[in-house]
Structure 1
Amino acid sequence: MVGMPTIYDVARHAGVSPATVSRVLNGHEGVDAALTARVRESAATLGYRPNSLARNLRRSTTNLWAVIISDVNNPFFTAVVRGVEDAGQDLGYSVVLCNSDEQPDKEARYVTALLADQISGFIVSPTSRTANIRALVDAGRAVVAIDRRPRGLALDTVLVDNEHGAREATAHLIDQGYERIACITGPSRLSTASQRLRGFRAALRAAGRTPEPELERHADFRERGGYEAMADLAAARPDAVFVANNLMTVGALEFLSDKGIRVPDEVAVVGFDDVPWATFIRPPLSTVTQPTYELGRTAATLLKSRIDDPGRPPTVATLRTELHVRASSRRR
């Protein structure tokens, strides 16, 4: 082996994740005894020596926060990060930005690397792997979850009222007289996607309608996923569609444009997440707006409170959405 062995070398040698190695070497309880023995044996075999600075992180005070977001290309997350950064600067902290790209393994690598640095707090938009966030909690770090609620963990969390926003968007389409209203939402494993689908269905039921599975699609919260979901829905002949995030809305609009399907004359569209160009396209796009900047500032405030008072009960802050009706969903 060339150079000093790293935590990743130990993980490969032991056949476990880097997060497990970190937990074992930092003395955290809850790791299987056989795994613990295997990790310690691999560390001894390779001659791994933990960074003494990392050993003392619980007692270290730094002015660095890490923000791990799920898609740096999404304007929603960049606006959230701006709110975190501005509030962090006001509180005397600097921000390190990481992009998990919706990949649990990539998120795990960031978590492991950041646990070896003097990061005093974390703001995370979690992927589906709760163990990554649990590793931060088990390491005694201050953690705030944003946008998505981690399963099985009681954490400070900042959300928006996804169900309310989806209900408003769908109720608007119903009020406009659309009969076959479709929904494109995100991966079923993510709380934001399931909540927005729940709001969509609730609005239909409130209007005396029965949700139809053939008019619902799960995609990947990306532009390509929105395009493919809209293409798949075309055979069901919807006359309106609620799309549960901004990038998928772009993809759905792209498909409609490619096929010469007129908005809103043939298919009305409402998106979730406002975007700067929503009023510039033709027709202007109806959207459910999230208070993205305020979401970031709220997360930063909660993180500072957690650092100052680690023992306080977790806080869940839920911010309101607002429907902006424009020409893409209005009956002419």
Structure 2
Amino acid sequence: MQPRPTLKSLAATLGLHVSTVSRILNGAPEAAGRAASPEVVGRVRALARELNYRPNPQALSLKTQRSRDVGVLLPRLADPLAARLFEGIEDAAQAAGYSVFACPTQDDPRRSLDRAEKALQRQVAGLVLGDCHLGDTRLLDTLAAQRVPYVLVGRQQPGQPGIGCDDEAAGRAVAEHFLRKGRRRLGVLAGPAHSSPGQDALRGFAAACQQAGVPLAPEQVVHGAVSAQAGREQGERLLGLGVDAVFALDDLLALGVASAAQARGQLLGRELALVGYNDLPWAAELPVPLASVSVPAERMGRLALQMLLRRVDGKAANPLVLAPEVLLRASAG
């Protein structure tokens, strides 16, 4: 059996220094161009393919004290938004010569701490955090104390590096649409109280209502779990108050509201205006197409990974907020 090729054996065969071969095969694409001429880069990669060379991430970690792995903490892998974020993160990681692995936390801060600790045992280069709870900085404090690079994506915390969406502007835009259409009895399904996108969107929505002289009463805002069933139950509470427009901070919640309205015989888009969030693939295909706020999740994921790698390199990384898009379909009235 042929011995497994190593960086040292490849370098010896090619007559190159082992560090040059390492930068070409294990570094980011741009690093290869700086390490050697295109002709040499081609020779190294051709021999690596011929001998079926594969990097040894454990050995890499022993030398650099970090691997080229990145851990990604997400609430639930089945969540469509989380899946889109992860796709963007993975695309950017692959382009930079890194690998990523997902760590589902069930949106539980205790699990986040546990999953992060297990990721650190793998000597990850850093972490992308998509499950932060507002006001809970235990994990962030731990990572900062250990000088572990991290960035937030989707959910944000004040003063922390990350990529978010201008959810407050989206909430304001939805409220302004309802008000322009003459809707005055408004309701909001705001999702979990610990999730910053929902709280930011609610703040923008409430501010627009207040400015128009149509303030939201406490009972017109419902916090809770996110699912179609939860949306139906929460929606029934709002419909029982006589609301004529509902802003649901997830399309699954909006789907539940639509079901509750149908059971009451209310016509969606006429007797009840409805706008969801995240623009899931089926939203536009419903019998009454669902208006929704579209979030650039894949781009957010790509930018989050790129920001993390800047932090890995010791560079500054300021928070970045992207613009959402309000897609006004038939359900919005």
Aligned to 2:111: 106
Taking the aligned partners of 1:327 and 1:293, their CA distance within structure 2 comes to: 26
* Matches for 1:1-332 after TM superposition, within 5 Å: 59-128=64-133, 129-150=136-157, 154-309=159-314, 312-330=315-333
Taking the aligned partners of 1:172 and 1:284, their CA distance within structure 2 comes to: 17
Aligned to 2:39: none
- TM-score normalised according to structure 1 size: 0.77
Taking the aligned partners of 2:256 and 2:125, their CA distance within structure 1 comes to: 38
The alignment-based identity, stated in percent, is: 27
Following superposition, the deviation at residue 234 of structure 1 comes to: 2.1
2:232–2:257 contact (8 Å) kept in structure 1: yes
1:57–1:118 contact (8 Å) kept in structure 2: no
* Residue identity opposite 1:109 in structure 2: D
Aligned to 1:19: none
Following superposition, the deviation at residue 274 of structure 1 comes to: 0.8
Taking the aligned partners of 1:158 and 1:293, their CA distance within structure 2 comes to: 11
Q: 1:58 to 1:202 in 2, by over 3 A?
A: farther
Following superposition, the deviation at residue 323 of structure 1 comes to: 0.8
* Residue identity opposite 1:103 in structure 2: D
Q: What secondary structure, in the 3-state scheme, does the structure 1 residue paired with 2:73 have? A: strand
* Residue identity opposite 1:322 in structure 2: E
1:225–1:248 contact (8 Å) kept in structure 2: yes
1:58–1:140 contact (8 Å) kept in structure 2: no
Taking the aligned partners of 2:297 and 2:112, their CA distance within structure 1 comes to: 22
- TM-score normalised according to structure 2 size: 0.77
Taking the aligned partners of 2:172 and 2:145, their CA distance within structure 1 comes to: 37
* Residue identity opposite 1:148 in structure 2: R
Q: What secondary structure, in the 3-state scheme, does the structure 2 residue paired with 1:72 have? A: coil
Q: How many residue pairs are counted as aligned between the two chains?
A: 272
Structure 1's consecutive aligned runs of 4 or more residues displaced over 4 angstroms after TM superposition are 56-59
Following superposition, the deviation at residue 259 of structure 1 comes to: 3.8
Taking the aligned partners of 1:283 and 1:57, their CA distance within structure 2 comes to: 57
- Rg larger for: 2
Q: Deviations over 1:25-79 (max 9, x none)?
A: xxxxxxxxxxxxxxxxxxxxxxxxxxxx9xx889413111111111222211111
Following superposition, the deviation at residue 317 of structure 1 comes to: 0.3
* Residue identity opposite 2:146 in structure 1: A
Tell me how large the CA RMSD over aligned residues is: 1.9
2:274–2:291 contact (8 Å) kept in structure 1: yes
Q: 1:181 to 1:84 in 2, by over 3 A?
A: same
2:310–2:316 contact (8 Å) kept in structure 1: no
Taking the aligned partners of 2:201 and 2:228, their CA distance within structure 1 comes to: 18
Taking the aligned partners of 2:303 and 2:142, their CA distance within structure 1 comes to: 23
* Residue identity opposite 1:104 in structure 2: P
Q: What secondary structure, in the 3-state scheme, does the structure 1 residue paired with 2:283 have? A: coil
Taking the aligned partners of 1:289 and 1:263, their CA distance within structure 2 comes to: 20
Taking the aligned partners of 1:190 and 1:323, their CA distance within structure 2 comes to: 20
Taking the aligned partners of 1:136 and 1:57, their CA distance within structure 2 comes to: 20
Taking the aligned partners of 1:303 and 1:57, their CA distance within structure 2 comes to: 21
Following superposition, the deviation at residue 261 of structure 1 comes to: 2.9
Mark the runs of 5 or more structure 1 residues left unpaired by the alignment.
1-52
